[in-house]
Structure formats: C-alpha cells, structure tokens
C-alpha cells in the first residue's frame, strides 16, 4: 500500500490478479489453454499410435499436423484483422471437436490406418492454424494497455504450458483408458474452448481494415511477411520463433522416440519427459507476468534462448531416464523465460493494425516450421540415431543464438 499527500494508503492490486479478475480475459485464457492442450495432446496421441516407426511418427505428428500451420497461419492472421475474432475461433473450435470425434470413432472401430491418421491430423492442424494466431492477436482487445505485458505473459502461460500438459494428459489417458478415450477427451475440450471464447467480450476497440482498403489475401500475406522481416528487431524475433518450431519438432518426434527406444519408457514415462517442463515454465512466466516494467528483457530473452542448447544436449547424451527427467524439470524455467519474452517483445514491436498478420507470421514460424523440421529430422534419423539428431539440433540452435545475440536493438529492449 502507498500513502500519497496524507491521504489513506492506496491498495495496489497485483497485475496478474487484476488481469485475471476480468471475466472476459478469464474466458479467453481458458479457451487458449484448452486449444493448445488439444494440439499438444492430440499430437502425442497420434505419434504414440505409430511410435515404433520414426517415419510414420514424423509423417503424422510433424508433417500432417504441422503443415496446415505453414499453409494457413498467415491467411488466418489476415482474417483476424478483418472479421470478428471470437466467431472465427468459436466455429473453428467446434470443427476441431468434430475432427477429434471422427478420430475416436476410427480408432474405436479399428479403421485408423496411416492414411486416415494423416488426414485427421491434417484436418485438426488446419483448424488449430486458424485458432491460435487469432487468439494471440486478441490480447490488446482484452486488457488495458498498461497491463499488456501481463496479458501477453498469461496468454503465453496458457499457450505453452498447456501444449506440454497435453502430452502428459494424453499419456495418462492412454495408459488408463486407451487411445480412443484420449480422442474423446480432447473433443470435449474443443467444445469447452468454443464456449469459453464466446463469453470473452472485447473491452478495447482495435483497428480493422476499412472495406475500401481491403486487399487480396495474397497481398496481405506478403505485407505480413515483409513487415516481420524488413527491420530489426522483428527479424531476429522471427528467427527466435523458428527456434521454437525446432524445439516443438524435437519434443514431438525425437524425445518420445529416445524415451521409448533408448530409455525404455512407456507412454506415461515418455510424456513425463515433456510434461515435466511445466512447473518451471509456470513459475518463470508468472514472475514475468508480475513485473510489467521488467527491465533488460531483451538480454534476458537471449539468455533464456541460449540455455536451450545444453538442455537439448543432455537429452541427446543421457542414457538414464531419471537424468533426462531432471534435465526436463530444469529446462522449464529457461524455456518459460524464452518463449514468454519472445511473444512479449514481438507484440511490443508490432503496430495494432498489423497485429493479426504479424501473429499469423509468428505462428507460421513457430508452428508451421514443424513439418519442415520434422521432414528434416525424418531424413536425419535415417542416417543417425534420434539421440545424435538431438545433439545436431542443439548445435543449430546454438548458431541461431549467436545470430540473435548480435542484434543490438534486441539486447537493449
């Protein structure tokens, strides 16, 4: 509490409490959490269907599920700048529930083959590619500008922790009830996400395209790409989002395979290696959300990004399950620092009228690169082991860290 000019002390509200006290933001946060949990959980479920084949795991969990992000992420961001974002997210979430329900039926009737797995994964990926950039662009509509940093941090908390929680939840459900039950559970969550976003009413007006200046989807897509890559520090932040795509591919393809073939883990044990990052991510993201005026965020962002390299190396070198699990627990905090600050800094350096298109590019880079990286890992694992592939990926991330660290505008942010 603070006393001013002899007046009674004014009770200051914690920024996280203030943001979450808004009913619209709470419903929005629930929708983000459920949508991302579905993506992480369904991905693990499909990968576990074909876990004995690295090729099929890469096809289903990486390429089929991730390719729609590459194809539709930016057009989704364009539409997010033009239409009612709540309706776009709501209807896409209902469509996700339908796809997951179909997947459950295919698995229950033993009709889930490689082709049908790829088709349903691609369909789900398409609707998630519509939902996620649109949700990200909604933050400025739902929080006061002075709490924008906190709103982004909490959104990222829902987005990232639920992504990894999904793998853990899927492992638990599969272990207890089977793969069909996992698909049914995620279908119910998709309906919950649709209901939650319908109750998230915007509190701030945001710019939209005026009808007379609307341009084609193709030209708008080009505008978004040029905007993100034309100037620093957005260009370096774009590279950082590609690194997120690399990490996603590693956790989708390599970590479960290493857990299964090298460490001898079952579905629950493999999912724990991914889900164990959650506590550290939650704590770190909450710390950042509690400090809207946090200084030297650019430098902290680079530090968090650099810490990923040794963690990937440990996952590749370890031959002991408990060492790998401890590494994942430690990995959570720097991962939370990195992924939260990259989203905060990207939104801070994006103008409101470009928010949808810029976030579409961000999701293409962080999620749309998943099929490309997965395809690369597929080729790589034909000549080296999954453990060696993790080590090579660590080296590639290290080179990216060096490139980002040389951006003076970012270090001073």
Residue 304: Cβ within 10 Å count: 22
Measure the CA dihedral 280/283/288/291, to 10°: -160
Higher pLDDT, 208 or 245: 245
CB 343 within 8 Å of CB 163: no
- 15-204+217-411 CATH fold: Growth Hormone; Chain: A; (1.20.1250)
Give me the pLDDT at residue 97, please: 95
pLDDT at 205: 63
Q: What is the pLDDT confidence band of residue 11, given thresholds at 50, 70 and 90?
A: very low
Closest of 149, 148, 131, 132 to residue 140, by C-alpha: 148
Percent of all residues in the chain with a pLDDT value above 70, rounded to a whole number: 89
pLDDT of 213 higher than 60: no
The pLDDT, as a whole number, for residue 62 is 66
Which among 248, 226, 107 is positioned nearest to 167, based on CA atoms?
248
pLDDT digits (tens, 9 = 90+) for 143-178: 877 777 788 888 877 877 676 678 778 888 888 888
pLDDT at 368 over 80: no
186 versus 275: the higher-pLDDT residue is: 186
Give the pLDDT confidence score for residue 164 in this predicted structure. Answer: 67
The pTM of this model reads 0.69
pLDDT of residue 27: 92
**pLDDT, tens only, 256-283:** 778 888 888 887 788 788 778 778 888 8
Q: 172 near 271, Cβ under 8 Å?
A: yes
For 219-269, how does the pLDDT look when each residue is reduced to its tens digit (9 = 90+)? 777 777 888 888 888 888 888 888 888 887 777 678 877 888 888 888 778
* H helix count then E strand count, the chain: 21, 0
Contact criterion met (CB below 8 Å) for 374 and 61: yes
pLDDT at 181: 92
Residue spans per domain, the chain: 15-204+217-411
């Amino acid at each position: 509490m603070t006393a001013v000019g002899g007046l009674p002390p004014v009770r200051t509200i914690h920024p996280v409490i203030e943001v979450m006290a808004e009913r619209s933001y709470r419903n929005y946060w629930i929708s983000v959490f459920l949508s991302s949990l579905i993506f992480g959980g369904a991905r693990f479920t499909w990968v576990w269907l074909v876990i004995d084949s690295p090729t099929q795991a890469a096809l289903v969990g990486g390429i089929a599920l991730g390719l729609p992000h590459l194809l539709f992420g930016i057009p989704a961001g364009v539409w997010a700048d033009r239409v009612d974002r709540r309706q776009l997210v709501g209807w896409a979430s209902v469509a996700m529930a339908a796809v997951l329900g179909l997947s459950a039926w295919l698995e229950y009737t033993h009709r889930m083959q490689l082709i049908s797995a790829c088709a349903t994964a691609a369909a789900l990926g398409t609707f998630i590619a519509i939902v996620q950039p649109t949700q990200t662009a909604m933050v400025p509509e739902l929080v006061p500008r002075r709490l924008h940093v906190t709103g982004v941090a909490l959104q990222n908390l829902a987005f990232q922790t639920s992504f990894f929680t999904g793998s853990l939840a899927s492992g638990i459900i599969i272990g207890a009830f089977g793969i069909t039950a996992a698909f049914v559970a995620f279908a119910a969550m998709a309906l919950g996400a649709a209901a939650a976003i319908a109750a998230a009413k915007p509190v701030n007006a945001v710019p939209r395209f005026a009808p007379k200046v609307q341009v084609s989807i193709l030209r708008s897509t080009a505008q978004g790409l040029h905007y993100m890559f034309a100037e620093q520090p957005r260009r370096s932040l774009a590279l950082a989002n590609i690194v997120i795509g690399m990490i996603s591919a590693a956790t989708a393809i390599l970590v479960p395979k290493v857990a299964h073939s090298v460490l001898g883990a079952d579905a629950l044990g493999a999912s724990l290696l991914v889900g164990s990052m959650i506590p550290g991510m939650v704590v770190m993201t909450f710390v950042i959300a509690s400090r809207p005026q946090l200084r030297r965020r650019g430098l902290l962002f680079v530090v968090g990004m650099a810490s990923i390299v040794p963690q990937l190396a440990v996952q590749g070198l370890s031959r002991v399950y408990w060492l790998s699990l401890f590494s994942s627990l430690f990995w959570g905090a720097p991962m939370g620092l990195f992924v939260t600050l990259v989203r905060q800094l990207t939104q801070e350096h994006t103008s409101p009228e470009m928010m949808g298109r810029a976030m579409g590019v961000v999701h293409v880079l962080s999620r749309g690169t998943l099929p490309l990286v997965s395809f690369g890992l597929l080729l790589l694992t034909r000549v080296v082991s999954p453990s060696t592939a993790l080590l090579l990926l660590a080296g590639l991330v290290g080179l990216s860290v060096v490139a980002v660290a040389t951006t003076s505008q970012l270090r001073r942010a």
